[in-house]
Structure 1
Amino acid sequence: MIETSPADAPPSASGAIIGPDGLRRPAWAAVDPMLRDYYDTEWGVPVRSEHALFERISLEAFQSGLSWAIILRKRPGFRAAFADFNPDRIAAFDDDDVARLLNDEMIVRNRLKIRATITNAQATIALREQGGLVDFVWSFQPDETPEPATQADVPTRSAASAALSKALKKVGFVFVGPTTMFALMEAIGMIDTHLQGSHRRGSSGVWG
């Protein structure tokens, strides 16, 4: 999940904080302008295109074990290095591309995660024969969404994220564990974990 996915707020973080603009946000999005803008304009907004969803899955995988702020700051570098996250182009990456990426200071240089991105691009293409990545992922939208009052109330995984993780692995994806998939579900609006009182609560239009 992004609040612990970006791990920029402690587990004991309180409820939504009033910012200088008078709007309430969680602690992780209340100070850093980059994170605040991401929270206000992107996080929790429904993603329903293959390209955008593949990018989110890829970046969530790279985030594993790191602060989301690191990934967000490097996102322009990631987009340049990974052909703007075009699955068809990435699926054709070879050992020379892996070597190039391992020398690219603009991204997180992790061999396993780089190869996972290539593997997941190939799996994304294969999944088109089953209706495509978007319909596949969104089919795991749960019937209910969390309603956290404080950061401590936000889960880090769920039955739905575990099921999505298992299903994606079955069709060839890697680095898509239940916690990572919960973060994805938050980021793309499949669930709404905006804190009660946050000015973004209910903004996705998915949960009202």
Structure 2
Amino acid sequence: MFPVAYLADYFGRRKTIQVGALVYLLGGALQTGARNIDMMWAGRFFAGFGVGVMADLAPLYQAEIAHPSIRGRLTTLQQFMLGIGAFAASWITYGASAGLKHTQAEWRLPLGIQIIPALPLIAFILLLPESPRWLAEKGRIDEATETLAKLHAHGNVNDPFVVSQMEDIKAEIQKAKDIGSASWGELFFVPSNLRRVSLG
């Protein structure tokens, strides 16, 4: 979802994830309390948008705060947990269908349960550290260094790993600035890019 990148770059990873969870919560509440098909469609829209925000940003945030030695496993775990969630949702829906047949709870209960994971995420996401990469992009180098040190070096800002990671982050940010930002129009109006887009 293209707006997510702009929101995450402007507000930070944590706040954007929190907003995504709030929108998802609204969507889940509308679906659970739906009185007509329009409410259900609105709920599906908001829940879908919220999931899109979180699905885009969760792996990015994980990658930016994780130690390189576990980064791949941690970001892969998110996709694995989506599968676990889908599996659990199938059985919850089956159980509600079998045990609450011909009642409104048969469909309202499974829809309502989806709200539960959003609540602790909204409540506690801001207790987690902000992305060192995002802090560095905003020129908050000292905060970025302190965050890296707390995450990976018991608070020691002079740890060789912290120093090395900060140098890498600063180099990546500078490289991105040197390249410059491309416009969305370039995807569709530059023939070689349009061909790549059409291929998927």
TM (norm. structure 1) is 0.28
TM-score, normalised to structure 2's length? 0.29
Give 1 or 2: higher helix fraction. 2
Q: Determine which structure has more spread, i.e. the larger CA radius of gyration.
A: 2
